[in-house]
Structure 1
Amino acid sequence: MFKTSKTSLRSLATFASPEAVLPKKYGGKYTITLIPGDGVGKEITDSVKTIFKDQSVPIEWETIEVSGIDKNADGVLDGVSQAVESLKRNKIGLKGILYTPTGTSAKSLNVALRKELDIYASLVLIKNIPGVKGKLDGIDFALVRENTEGEYSGLEHQSYPGVVESLKIMTRFKSERIGKFAFDFAKKNNRKLVTAIHKANIMKLGDGLFRQTIKDIAQDYSGIEVNDLIVDNASMQAVAHPQQFDVLVTPNLYGSILSNIGAALIGGPGLVPGANFGREYAVFEPGCRHVGLDIKGQNTANPTAMILSASMMLRHLGLNDHADKISKATYDVIAEGKTTTRDIGGSASTTEFTDAILAKLN
């Protein structure tokens, strides 16, 4: 069985985009766009704000309220436009999940932001955390997902009553750049295997193009192996033997499915950090995109994924000392097991968990 070189807990949230464009400091501080999002978004971003303020992290927030629950279409569009303009100014954002209702014609605001700013690469980190009993041990893989084409392009129309056509667009250009992103990540983080996930046995042209492009790119990265898996098999392997995975590179839909499987394996969506990168912008958000509408306002949400995503953001900005201290304190609280949230077996509230992190820091 292939054995991969695994990263440490400290580097769980370590990555900088190869094309990173960092914002300018004003008065010794970075201005960061904050989009709290829907559901528990405000509660878990408030946790980050509390920790950053306590630790004097040199960041000022420009908060933009955007909600997919807003029934006023003009208000929703205005919010997205404001968020886009803010991110264009600030380059970096921290974001909660925006709700996308089913059964309506409403577009995904998450997708709209990514497409408008060409934030093409999603990075999700799936790793066991000491103190949390997962389904299996020894899990440590990164999932790199293409954000801007494939099934999530939203190109649908009804050509005849009762007949809907959904277009899946796959291009060599976008397959190449997500492939290069995945191999660059593997190289920088001492990972040795990149696995392309596809359905080329059925979608021979579209997914076939993706699969072959990833294999072609591998020729430029000596020391990193490449293989591929059909998405059905990859899903089975993920729940049977996820330890074999190192870096997965996927089109949009398959990455969404596998990130949720990964979250379930290690203890739930509240533990999975993530980020989205483009040529000019980076937006950090939990990697498993659950809104938490059912627990909104109850002060029970686990803010770990948001805190670790914010730590990724700090490393992206070169604020490694702050990132190390905050992520270590978070891990220490979880490992200690005295003040953890309900989703991972504890009884603490969101604010109590945050206070426990502050106590570790101080």
Structure 2
Amino acid sequence: MAQHRVVLLPGDGIGPEITAVAKTLLDAVSQRHGFSLSFDEQPIGGSAIDATGEPLPASTLEACKAADAVLMAAIGSPRFDSLPREKRPETGLLGLRAGMQLFANLRPVKIVPALIGASSLKPEVIEGVDLMVVRELTGGIYFGQPKGRIEADGDERGFNTMTYSASEVDRIAQVAFNLARERRGQLCSVDKANVLDVSQLWRDRVETMAPDYSDVAVSHMYVDNAAMQLVRDPKQFDVLLTGNLFGDILSDEAAMLTGSIGMLPSASLGSDGPGLFEPVHGSAPDIAGQDKANPMAMVLSAAMMLRIGLKENAAADDLEKAVDKVLAAGFRTGDLMSEGCSQLGCQAMGDELLKAL
């Protein structure tokens, strides 16, 4: 029997609630498909600050690096906003990504037929949308040096540095090209090359690599136009490749095509070692502990973990089919609720997903 070690990072807000649902489903699906999962729960973010004073304890990072895969829920809470930046929950997440050397963030956006009515866009615009955002995760303006705040000429100035090396662009572009090969063979690289030198390097490197992937149609788009096109005609996109800052923004915009950010999973991968799998939504502290959370993005993240991280494809298929079946039956959490459907809380939705398995 195959055995997989999984670190669970429930984090903050609704994180523990949706983690409990995912864990129950993972236990069930692993038993069905004849493999075992051992879970090691570790603190991160606000829960880690409360426990240890640090958003990413060294013990959490070491446990994650030693695992076969890491499944995280969400981090963050307004009550930590007054802390120095290096002590905030978000810094713990950035440190985890850097410590695990996770440079590629994959965010699939696929329209579920049962949820077409939940989107704020017209059905004819979003029907059939199936795209993948590939975001570079450990470079760019979030990590560039120098950065900070200084007094200069009698004024205060804040500054950050957007920087990429050719090798950083090459390795994330390779991930995107390979994904495009497995999908519909279309790659759109998003930058701001008309203004930014770093984006011109990005575009040059993608163009240099393109001849090695003659089976992939490559195009380029400025980020402002890409933001508009995602709303105007999202079906034109297959794989979207972009840097850290632009990818952060565009992936959340793309998430709303589905009607709720509560439906979208993600994977963060490195060259080797375990991957990190997490829903793209936040910790939703306003509804934490109220049994209102939508656990489906967490469940779909668990499915991505099974497929990509643990190579348990059949089990991943089962989790995804369970989500489709429950939605087709008309069950909804509050963020997806529409006329004629049955509204459920987080735990009850987990129960329905377990029945669907």
Same fold flag (TM > 0.5) = yes
In 2, Cα distance between equivalents of 1:70 and 1:310: 22
| Structure 2 residue 5 is the aligned partner of structure 1 residue 31 | yes
Give the total of aligned pairs: 330
Tell me the alpha carbon deviations over residues 90-119 of structure 1, each in whole angstroms, 9 at most, x when there is no partner: 141001122276565324221111112210
Q: 2:142 aligned with 1:159, yes or no?
A: no
- 1:136-175 matches, cutoff 5 A: 136-153=126-143, 155=145, 156-160=147-151, 162-175=156-169
The residue aligned with 1:85 is 62
Q: Output the CA distance in 1 between the equivalents of 2:141 and 2:111.
A: 30
Counterpart residue number, 2:355:
359
**Alignment partner of 1:170: what SS?**
coil
Matched with 1:215 is 207
Amino acid at match of 1:118: Q
- State the match for 2:285 in structure 1: 293
Aligned-partner residue type, residue 61 of structure 1: F
Q: Flag the 1:309–1:147 CA change in 2: closer, same or farther, 3 A.
A: same
Over aligned residue pairs, what C-alpha RMSD do you find?
1.9
Compare 141-150 and 217-226 and name the one that shifted more.
217-226
User: How much identity, in percent, do the aligned residues show?
Assistant: 33
Normalised TM-score (structure 2): 0.88
Contact 1:141 1:248 in 2 (8 A): yes
The two structures have a TM-score, normalised by structure 1, of 0.86
Q: Is the 8 A contact 2:183 2:238 kept in 1?
A: no
Which residue does 1:198 correspond to in 2? Answer: 191
Deviation at 1:323, TM superposition (A): 1.3
Q: Which residue of 1 aligns with 2:72?
A: 95
Q: How does 1:43-62 map to 2 (within 5 A)?
A: 43-55=17-29, 56=31, 58-62=36-40
Q: State the Cα distance separating 1:289 from its structure 2 match.
A: 3.6
Residue type at the aligned position of 1:84: L
Structure 1 gaps of 5+ residues are 1-26
Larger mean Cα displacement after TM superposition, 255-264 or 91-100 = 91-100
2:322 to 329, 333, 350: 329
Deviations 1:155-203 (CA, angstroms, capped at 9, x unpaired): 421232611221112111100000001011111x232111111111111
Cross-structure match for 1:237: 229
Whether 1:114 aligns to 2:97 is: yes
Distance 1:58 1:215 in 2: 44
For residues 269-313 of structure 1, the C-alpha deviation after alignment (integer angstroms, 9 at most, x for no partner) is 111111000022211111x24221111111111111111111111
Confirm or deny: 8 A CA contact 1:80 1:113 kept in the other structure. Answer: no
Asked whether the equivalents of residues 5 and 68 of structure 2 are also in contact (C-alpha less than 8 Å), the reply is: no
How far off its partner does 1:53 sit? 2.2
Counterpart of 1:350 in structure 2 is 346
Letter in 2 for 1:66: I
Residue 320 (structure 1) aligned to one of 304, 313, 323: 313
Q: Could you tell me which amino acid in structure 1 is paired with residue 150 of structure 2?
A: S
